Chains A and B, each alone.
Chain A
Amino acid sequence: MEKVIRIDGEKVLTRREFLKAAGRAGAAAIVGYSFLAKPAGGAPARSVSMIHWSHFVPAYNPELERQVTEWSARRGVTARVDFVAYRDIPAKLAAEAESRTGHDVVQLRVFDAALYRRHLVPLDDVAQELERESGPWLPLARYLAFLEGRWYAVPWYYWSFPATINREHWARIGMGPANVAALDWNALLEAAERLHRQGTPVGMAISQTFDANDALYPLLWSFGGRTVDEKGNVIIESAETAAAVEYAKRLFRFMPREVLGWDDAANNRFILAGVGSWTPNAPSIWAVAKLQNLPIAGQIDHVPMPRGPKGRFRSASTLALGVWSFSPNVELAKDLIRHLLRPGNYARQVEASMGYNQPFLSKLSQHPYWRNEPVLRFYEPVREQLTVPGWPGPAGEGAQLVYTAFIVPLMFAKAVTGEMSTAEAIRWAARELRARYRR
């Protein structure tokens, strides 16, 4: 007997009619999906994808896109760059490595190449070819990407953290950029007090943000403190670390309390709003001000980070290019990397980034841009000791875990807020470091 589907007692359709309709709808959905999922007819076009952070200097993104498009047209393939917020890149990479699917070319920050080396194609041929063309590689490049005798990534560019200053605020306390460039940490402390009194304080992130790593590690290093030694043994419990933390406590009194919650863009706003006098940052603040024709662009300058008892250090955020081992387009991906590091293309990238991007290959650093732009005279070439948070320990998982968990900024934050004494904060950091380096 034919079953009838009824709603409120009224016949709507028979069961057979319902099943037929459902079957047709299902078939239509499958056919429709197959049309959407595959290109119509012929062999599928080869497609190369790349992930890159959304650059702090907005003019850089279109130039990168242009170069990738130019390459794809020359190779007869399709290519695209996905721009992702810098802060979201770690989770994106983790998801791609775990699911073994994603972009062909990935940007790898700091110790990512060491962390993901099991999933990356060795790029010895590309790295060696580029070194012959524009080398040698900086020691920092080898430290981060040349692992167990192989290049697991091709170092692309880095940006470093000098101090960004507002010249006019400093002029009001009688100091020119040359004086600020010569400061040691103690002299900065004296100046910070005066700047604080005139309502234009200094500020550095002491929060869970990457800028905090890049601001506070150089302070630690310049007092002689280290998180780990070359073998990865935790050595943060030292008189030198205590001196750095004590210093930060004194400097914190002259900074806005908001530095405890700053994100990577907060110190940019701090300077651009005309409030801040000094903050560790790459030249993106100046670049944005200049691109937007803000009057404050003329007041911004860059000087080296202050000197400490054990030297003058500068932290770098680094970017290398890697190719996933599960990429179906390894050779094309390698070719794209070569293209992006050709001297002509690289020069245009430097110009588009307004000098923000710094090269790992020595010949590429001879670009006149940095010499012609007085604001960048202390930025490139780097005169301080240049390194990355985690140095001098081994490049690997421990360093990356400490970097992403913001252990060093947290140590400083716990001490400056009075949540812990200096000794307790350092002991806390030592425990957290051991937990991450012993894995």
Chain B
Amino acid sequence: MGRSGAPGSVPAVEARNIAVRWWWRERPKGEWRLALAMVCPLVGILLGLMAYPLVSALYMSVTDKTIGSRGGYVGLSNFLQLAEDSIFRQTVGNAVVYTVVAVTIKTIVGMGLAVALARVGERGGTVRALILLPWVIPISITALAWWWMFDPMFSVINRGLRALGLAASGIPWLGDPFWARVAVILVNVWRGLPFFATVFLAGLLSIPRELYEAAETDGAGPLESFVRITLPLLRPVLSLVILYSVVMTVADFEIIYILTRGGPVNRTHLFATYAFQVGLEGTLIGKGAAIALFIFPVLAGASYFTLRIIRRGEEYA
């Protein structure tokens, strides 16, 4: 009773006792407790590695923090400054072009590749394994190889083009704003295509052959079968892959950082590379966080729809 002197302490103690009793009564028991113990580390890791950086970035984006200083609260000032920042506006345009063009090409070519592989059937096992190579090798290594292939002096691509008589003076791959965009999109497509083709192929192989046979009996041609059977049945897979790819492409960093560092004339900067330049190289970490967070709504929307598609797929399964 030694603490009873503090005003309001009795109800507080009672409330605590009620809470403790409730917790004791409702505490996880048996296997449920074991399950909880096993899940907790994962939740901890997710909170530490995903939630904390996100909350930290959100906080920094509303401060004028520079490297090593705490910074003060500035509200939405960083975001408003970005609206006036011509390099940032250029970056938004770059991200749209990069994502739309790369994902479109990957979808079309990936579908074509998947259809071709499906026709080859079991004989194409080696080819299937080989086309996965670009996707499984770390991009930091392959991007360096591409960088060398685009080198103005020693480009093997230019040498090939010259030998074929297609470009007498070679193409300034990384030196010209237009060709630099072509180059980074090309590498992104090369990298992502195997993923598209493999997932599409899995989707194609899961479509019952009877449907095609029935369509053929009814007089449908290959194109009609593709439009009326393949595409509708592949739609969940297609949507999932496209949305996933949008997330990965718009947030790309390595390809740009290694090949162009955002140049020439900022024509290949994406949010991640510009955020890195402003936040770490330029030390304006508050503004850098604001740039990085600008894509957050896009990524959150894409993630939401991806999850919905996955859930719908589970319902149908």
Give me the interface of A with B, judged by CB distance under 8 Å.
Answer: 3, 15, 90-91, 94-95, 97-98, 100, 115-116, 118-119, 207-209, 256-263, 266, 269-270, 273, 275, 397, 400-401, 404-405, 410, 413-414, 417, 419, 428, 431-432, 435, 439
Of the 9-residue stretches B222-230, B233-241, B256-264, which lies at the interface with chain A? B256-264
Determine the chain A residues whose CB is within 8 A of the CB of B154 once the complex forms: 269, 273
Determine the chain B residues whose CB is within 8 A of the CB of A100 once the complex forms: 68
Which of A97, A118, A256, A269 contacts B151, CB < 8 Å?
A: A269
Most chain B C-beta atoms within 10 Å of own C-beta, residue among A3, A260, A400, A413: A260
- Knowing that A91-B276, A98-B285, A405-B278 are A-B contacts, what are 19 other residue pairs whose CB atoms are under 8 Å apart, sorted by A's residue number? A3-B30, A94-B67, A94-B279, A98-B68, A208-B262, A208-B266, A209-B263, A256-B175, A258-B174, A260-B172, A260-B176, A260-B177, A260-B264, A261-B172, A261-B176, A261-B264, A275-B153, A401-B282, A419-B265
A263 near B68 with CB under 8 A, answer no
A97 near B67 with CB under 8 A, answer yes
A410 near B265 with CB under 8 A, answer yes
How many angstroms from the CA of A94 to the CA of B67 in the assembled complex? 6
How many angstroms from the CA of A275 to the CA of B170 in the assembled complex? 14
Q: Mark B23-60, 1 if CB is under 8 A from A, else 0.
A: 00000001100100000000000000000000000000
Assuming the contacts A98-B68, A119-B68, A405-B277, asked whether A413 and B265 have C-beta atoms less than 8 A apart, the reply is yes
Q: Mark B254-289, 1 if CB is under 8 A from A, else 0.
A: 000000111111100000000011111111110000
Is there a chain A Cβ closer than 8 Å to B292's Cβ? no
Q: Give min CB distance, B189 to chain A, whole Å.
A: 20
Q: Give min CB distance, A410 to chain B, whole Å.
A: 6
How many angstroms from the CA of A403 to the CA of B87 in the assembled complex? 15
Interface of A is mostly: helix
Report the count of interface residues on B (CB-CB < 8 A): 39
Q: Give min CB distance, B149 to chain A, whole Å.
A: 14
Interface of B is mostly: loop
Q: Mark B77-97, 1 if CB is under 8 A from A, else 0.
A: 000010001110000000000
19 A-B pairs with CB atoms under 8 Å apart are A3-B30, A3-B31, A91-B281, A94-B279, A97-B68, A98-B285, A257-B172, A258-B152, A259-B175, A260-B175, A261-B152, A261-B175, A262-B175, A266-B152, A269-B153, A273-B153, A404-B282, A419-B265, A435-B85
A410 near B266 with CB under 8 A, answer yes
B68 near A118 with CB under 8 A, answer yes
How many angstroms from the CA of A195 to the CA of B189 in the assembled complex? 39
How many angstroms from the CA of A405 to the CA of B263 in the assembled complex? 11
Which of B34, B151, B263, B278 contacts A15, CB < 8 Å?
A: B34
Which of B69, B261, B283 contacts A208, CB < 8 Å?
A: B261
Is there a chain A Cβ closer than 8 Å to B291's Cβ? no
Determine the chain B residues whose CB is within 8 A of the CB of A119 once the complex forms: 68
Determine the chain B residues whose CB is within 8 A of the CB of A263 once the complex forms: 261
B152 near A256 with CB under 8 A, answer yes
A401 near B284 with CB under 8 A, answer yes
Q: Mark B161-189, 1 if CB is under 8 A from A, else 0.
A: 00000000000111111001000000000
Chain B residue with Cβ nearest A413: B265
Determine the chain B residues whose CB is within 8 A of the CB of A258 once the complex forms: 152, 172, 174-176
Chain B residue with Cβ nearest A436: B282
Chain B residue with Cβ nearest A206: B264
How many angstroms from the CA of A275 to the CA of B152 in the assembled complex? 11
Determine the chain A residues whose CB is within 8 A of the CB of B260 once the complex forms: 261
Determine the chain A residues whose CB is within 8 A of the CB of B151 once the complex forms: 269
Q: Give min CB distance, A258 to chain B, whole Å.
A: 3
Determine the chain A residues whose CB is within 8 A of the CB of B31 once the complex forms: 3
A115 near B152 with CB under 8 A, answer no
Closest 3 CB pairs of A and B: A258-B175, A261-B175, A258-B152
B175 near A414 with CB under 8 A, answer no
A94 near B283 with CB under 8 A, answer yes
A417 near B265 with CB under 8 A, answer yes
How many angstroms from the CA of A133 to the CA of B153 in the assembled complex? 47
Determine the chain B residues whose CB is within 8 A of the CB of A256 once the complex forms: 152, 172, 175
B265 near A90 with CB under 8 A, answer no
Which of B68, B177, B265, B280 contacts A91, CB < 8 Å?
A: B280
